Amino acid sequence: MDLISRVALEPEHPQRLVLLLHGRGADEEDLLPLASLFAPDSMVLAVRAPYPFGPGYAWYRLTPDGTAHLEDLSESVHALNDLIDARAGNRWPTVLLGFSQGGLVSALTASAREARGIQGIVSLSAPPLPQVPDHPTLAGLPVFVGHGTEDPVVPFQRGELTRDLLIRLGARVSFHRYPMGHMISEAELGDVRRWLSRL
């Protein structure tokens, strides 16, 4: 499966790869403004999820009982790993920034690689992982987790579960809560920018 992506920032001599991974029902245009969070030495790609959903796309479909379709997740993770290998390889580290479903698939992709080549994850308003490996796979990996306390789509308690599962995987999690719904606020973006500056 080849993923469609749009180049948001392409420096002459990139030092890292950044993948922007949108949420369900959006497309690769949705997170393009977030490219400005990254230094001009980052190659930033906004990636389109593979499965059509509503006006946009999704990283995985839902089963009749409302859980993630695991085969879809596996396909998405495999395709993202192929993209990372093709674009960054062993040349540069990769940062994954995902909103909602994009945050979940960011964590799964890094876990599948056992954090190999991953510099950090920004997970915004993401649901918890449907499956957690028996052993830590994100040992020491910096992860920013942000979630709205008024989120009606992925309730805040599920955001806390996302945090806890990432900690179980060995990630070094920085957890932030905001008085907002299923969205990205300016306060959150400010915290992400400061966090990124320390990577």
Q: Which of 69, 182, 185, 191 is catalytic?
A: 182
Are the C-beta atoms of 194 and 161 separated by less than 8 Å? no
Instruction: State residue 131's pLDDT score.
Output: 81
Residue from 1, 15, 21 nearest 88 by CA: 15
Question: If 0-12 CB within 10 Å is exposed, 13-18 middle and 19+ buried, where does residue 160 land?
Answer: middle
E strand or H helix at 162: helix 156-168
Q: Is 100 a catalytic residue?
A: yes
Are the C-beta atoms of 163 and 173 separated by less than 8 Å? yes
DSSP sequence for 68-101? B-HHHHHHHHHHHHHHHHHHTTTTS-EEEEEETH
Instruction: State residue 73's pLDDT score.
Output: 93
Instruction: State residue 67's pLDDT score.
Output: 80
Residue from 119, 100, 117 nearest 158 by CA: 100
- The CA–CA distances, whole Å, from 145 to 25, 54, 80, 94, 176 equal 21, 27, 20, 17, 6
Q: Is 151 a catalytic residue?
A: yes
Instruction: State residue 24's pLDDT score.
Output: 96
Dist. CA 29–CA 191, nearest whole Å: 22
Instruction: State residue 123's pLDDT score.
Output: 98
How do the pLDDT tens digits run along the chain, 199 residues long? 889 999 998 898 999 999 999 999 999 999 999 999 998 899 999 999 999 999 999 999 988 887 888 899 999 999 999 999 999 988 999 999 999 999 999 999 999 999 999 999 999 999 999 888 878 899 999 999 999 999 999 999 999 999 999 999 999 999 999 999 999 999 999 999 999 999 9
Q: Is 65 a catalytic residue?
A: no
Number of domains in the chain: 1
The boundaries of the domain holding residue 84 are 5-196
CATH number at residue 105: 3.40.50.1820
CA 29 to chain centroid, in Å, comes to 15
Instruction: State residue 4's pLDDT score.
Output: 94
Dist. CA 118–CA 47, nearest whole Å: 17
Q: Is the pTM of this model over 0.85?
A: yes
Q: Which of 100, 106, 125, 174 is catalytic?
A: 100
Dist. CA 42–CA 196, nearest whole Å: 12
